[in-house]
């Protein structure tokens, strides 16, 4: 039986509550890891370099692209984001399930290079709820919120590309659903082998 971990693309609009669900997933399942991306975005209050992201300059980001250091990378509302390749492969080899919290363009690249990945799309109960959450968070300017909502609408139209769509109507319920999706995929893989 293969001990390789699952590669899980975990996507959803900005403000949908992905981070909150992710924290609970990490606490609930010791086999889950979250890949730490590199970004050219400025850190938000409370974000720590190497924990939420590796905060890099555009030049450093471009050097990483040139060195083929990313599994995928994309631009999102004016900033670059990318998944460092080496740590993800290392964790998968160790049998850990690695979550990539990424946007749509990155997911499409992963789907090409790793077609066996498991993909989960988190959606808000309604678009109004998403808008309220983004405004309530207070971490972005009105212009950035508007741009993020526009991107969220575009991304929602692509929900059918994902293996699973999970509605974040209740965080604990959504966490349970994601855990059950993971265990279902593992059971199916175990039967196949």
| Sites of contact with ligand 5GP (CB under 6 A) | 14, 37, 41, 72, 74, 76, 81-83, 101-103, 105-106
Provide the minimum distance between the beta carbon of 105 and ligand 5GP in the complex, in angstroms, as a whole number. 6
Cβ burial, residue 191 (10 Å; 0-12/13-18/19+): exposed
Q: Write the CB contacts of 13 (distance below 8 Å, at least 6 apart in sequence).
A: 122, 123, 124, 130, 148, 151, 152, 155, 156
Question: Which of 81/162 has CB closer to ligand 5GP?
Answer: 81
Question: Which of 5/106 has CB closer to ligand 5GP?
Answer: 106
- Per-residue buried b or exposed e for 108-137, using 16+ beta carbons within 10 Å of the residue's own CB: ebbbeebeebbbbbbbbeeeeebbebbeee
How far lies 131's CA from each of 10, 49, 74, 134, in Å? 20, 28, 23, 5
Question: Which of 139/186 has CB closer to ligand 5GP?
Answer: 139
Question: Which of 73/177 has CB closer to ligand 5GP?
Answer: 73
Provide the minimum distance between the beta carbon of 169 and ligand 5GP in the complex, in angstroms, as a whole number. 20
Provide the minimum distance between the beta carbon of 2 and ligand 5GP in the complex, in angstroms, as a whole number. 26
Provide the minimum distance between the beta carbon of 189 and ligand 5GP in the complex, in angstroms, as a whole number. 25
Question: Which of 17/106 has CB closer to ligand 5GP?
Answer: 106
Q: How far apart are CA 136 and CA 142, in angstroms?
A: 11
Name the helix (H) or strand (E) containing 131.
helix 127-137
Provide the minimum distance between the beta carbon of 79 and ligand 5GP in the complex, in angstroms, as a whole number. 7
Question: Which of 105/159 has CB closer to ligand 5GP?
Answer: 105
Which residue's beta carbon is nearest to the bound ligand 5GP? Answer: 106
Q: How far apart are CA 181 and CA 108, in angstroms?
A: 20
Provide the minimum distance between the beta carbon of 106 and ligand 5GP in the complex, in angstroms, as a whole number. 2
Contact present, 56 and 95 (Cβ < 8 Å): no
């Amino acid at each position: 039986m293969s001990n390789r971990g699952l590669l899980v693309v975990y996507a959803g609009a900005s403000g949908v509550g992905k981070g909150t669900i992710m924290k609970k997933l990490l606490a609930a399942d010791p086999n889950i890891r979250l890949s730490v991306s590199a970004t050219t975005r400025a850190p938000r209050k409370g974000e720590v370099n190497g924990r939420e992201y590796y905060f890099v300059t555009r030049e450093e980001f471009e050097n990483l692209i040139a060195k083929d250091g990313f599994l995928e990378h994309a631009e999102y509302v004016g900033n670059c984001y990318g998944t460092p390749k080496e740590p993800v492969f290392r964790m998968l080899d160790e049998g850990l399930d690695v979550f990539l919290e990424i946007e749509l363009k990155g997911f499409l690249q992963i789907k090409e290079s790793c077609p066996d990945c498991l993909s989960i799309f988190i959606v808000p109960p309604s678009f109004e709820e998403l808008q309220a959450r983004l405004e309530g968070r207070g971490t972005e300017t009105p212009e950035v919120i508007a741009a993020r909502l526009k991107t969220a609408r575009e991304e929602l139209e692509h929900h059918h590309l994902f293996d699973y769509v999970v509605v974040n109507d209740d965080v604990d319920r959504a966490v349970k659903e994601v855990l059950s999706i993971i265990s279902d995929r593992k059971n199916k893989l175990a039967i196949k082998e």
